[in-house]
């Protein structure tokens, strides 16, 4: 679709807006770089679609983020028990932190973050244009980002997420400028990305290639009726992705299915979980040494000290979070054991019990964004309280591991 009137209308809509035009495989891709907190970006997207030049529209969203933008009740239909059972509690918390960040922006700037992406999706649907969601699922991006970090890096990001959910201050001018020139995820976790090339790779660079590959799939699937002329695609992306996306779209030659398979996989770490193994060897060796050197009394005392140090502190964390008595019991029982299992956390166990016994209601989900803005609201709202349970139980257990370990060392050298 490239008649003269449509082309001139589209050119007028894009005037003054950062954009690139890339032609490949019989498709003309117009990459429109937007600011996620700009009303002018919303106007530019709507005007470009209204020009009539474009045969389809692609936007920098995945299905989950589009649903959260267009369906306010989506969160209330979430099965939190399943989220915990599937080990996605930290991803759910990251989404809440992102939502809280976006809410502060909306209140401060009087514009909904991502409004231009929402407008692109709604206008494309209204005009009957094919809509393509080209961004990688945010949970997968976050999971790959965490996978690239060490223990200390993951701890810092986790603390940042928790702080982000509690924070109520205005977003700084520097962060707003980043949003005008960059990407929502980069701005949300920008402090960590700046310190970690691996994190930047997962959050920004990989997504440039991912979205370019998805656009190449759009080209491959264009209607056969479009073979006789140019097929026009409008791609609406954050301005921070514009250069990288255009480069990958021009230069990449690898098979799209292979690229996507690689970028959608969280590879199992080939390195051995040394901390877990060393902790297991230390405990088993310490208990054996106690029984061998001091008999049943000393060996039993070492085991009891480990159980009390980890179990009591894990249970205290759960209790501080306002956990159900059975959740506190689950924290106490699981805390001595889960440090020896690299894929399981005591917080997951206690939060699962809490979510099962005190299943959040529709009202809890609907009030969540407001409740997490106050300290009291975290204990009042069942969803927020489950997250506190997860974090504080895990924190208590971690402190207990070091406390119990130091006590055992004291016995060895005392």
**pLDDT single digits (tens) 8-45:** 677 777 777 888 999 998 899 999 988 777 788 888 99
Residue of higher predicted confidence among 98 and 217: 217
Q: Which of 34, 37, 155 is nearest to 90 (CA)?
A: 155
Triad 52, 57, 62: Cα angle to 5°: 160
| Backbone φ, ψ for residue 404 (5° rounding) | -65, -40
Residue of higher predicted confidence among 213 and 80: 213
Of 130-139, 219-228, 265-274, minimum mean pLDDT range: 265-274
pLDDT confidence band for 251 (50 / 70 / 90): very high
pLDDT surpassing 80 at residue 320: yes
Rounded to 10 degrees, the C-alpha dihedral 260/266/270/272 comes to 180
| Interstrand relation of 19-24 and 56-59 (parallel, antiparallel or unpaired) | unpaired
- Region 121-128: what's the mean pLDDT? 95
List all residues 6 or more positions away from 31 whose beta carbon is below 8 Å from its beta carbon: 19, 20, 21, 22, 235, 237, 242, 245, 246, 249
Residue of higher predicted confidence among 411 and 207: 207
Domain boundaries, the chain: 4-263, 274-413
d(Cα 154, Cα 324) in Å, to the nearest integer? Answer: 28
Which of the given ranges, 193-197, 211-215, 371-375, has the highest pLDDT on average? 211-215
pLDDT confidence band for 99 (50 / 70 / 90): low
Residue with tokens 């956990």: 323
Residue with tokens 């996989």: 265
Q: What is the DSSP string of 8-51?
A: HHHHHHHTTS-EEEEEETTEEEEEEEE-TT-HHHHHHHHHHHHT
pLDDT confidence band for 157 (50 / 70 / 90): low
């Amino acid at each position: 679709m490239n008649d003269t009137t449509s082309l001139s209308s589209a050119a007028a809509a894009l005037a003054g807006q950062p954009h690139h035009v890339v032609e490949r495989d019989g498709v003309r891709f117009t990459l429109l770089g937007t600011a996620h907190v700009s009303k002018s970006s919303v106007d530019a997207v709507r005007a470009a679609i209204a020009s009539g030049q474009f045969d389809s529209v692609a936007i920098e969203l995945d299905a989950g983020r589009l649903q959260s933008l267009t369906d306010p009740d989506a969160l209330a239909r979430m099965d939190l028990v399943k989220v915990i059972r599937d080990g996605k509690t930290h991803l759910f918390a990251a989404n809440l932190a992102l939502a809280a960040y976006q809410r502060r922006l909306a209140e401060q700037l009087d514009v909904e973050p991502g409004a231009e992406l929402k407008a692109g999706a709604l206008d494309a649907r209204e005009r009957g244009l094919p809509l393509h969601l080209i961004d990688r699922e945010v949970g997968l991006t976050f999971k790959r980002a965490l996978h690239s970090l060490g223990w200390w890096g993951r701890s810092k990001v986790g603390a940042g997420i928790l702080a982000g959910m509690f924070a109520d201050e205005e977003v700084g001018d520097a962060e707003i400028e980043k949003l005008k020139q960059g990407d929502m995820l980069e701005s949300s976790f920008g402090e960590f990305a700046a310190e970690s090339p691996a994190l930047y790779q997962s959050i920004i660079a990989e997504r440039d290639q991912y979205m370019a590959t998805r656009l190449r799939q759009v080209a491959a699937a264009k209607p056969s009726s479009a073979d006789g002329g140019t097929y026009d695609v409008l791609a609406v992306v954050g301005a921070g992705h514009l250069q990288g996306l255009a480069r990958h779209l021009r230069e990449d030659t690898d098979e799209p299915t292979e690229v996507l398979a690689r970028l959608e996989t969280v590879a199992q770490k080939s390195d051995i979980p040394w901390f877990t193994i060393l902790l297991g060897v230390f405990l088993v060796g310490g208990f054996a040494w106690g029984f061998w050197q001091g008999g049943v009394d000393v060996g039993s005392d070492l085991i009891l000290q480990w159980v009390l140090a980890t179990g009591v502190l894990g249970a205290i964390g759960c209790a501080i979070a306002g956990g159900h008595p059975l959740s506190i019991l689950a924290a106490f029982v699981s805390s001595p054991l889960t440090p020896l299992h690299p894929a399981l956390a005591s917080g997951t166990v206690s939060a699962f019990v809490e979510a099962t016994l005190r299943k959040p209601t529709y009202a809890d989900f609907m009030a969540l964004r407001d409740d997490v803005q106050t300290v009291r609201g975290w204990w009042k709202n069942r969803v927020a309280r489950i997250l506190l349970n997860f974090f504080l139980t895990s924190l208590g257990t971690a402190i207990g591991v070091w406390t119990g370990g130091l006590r055992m060392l004291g016995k060895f050298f005392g």
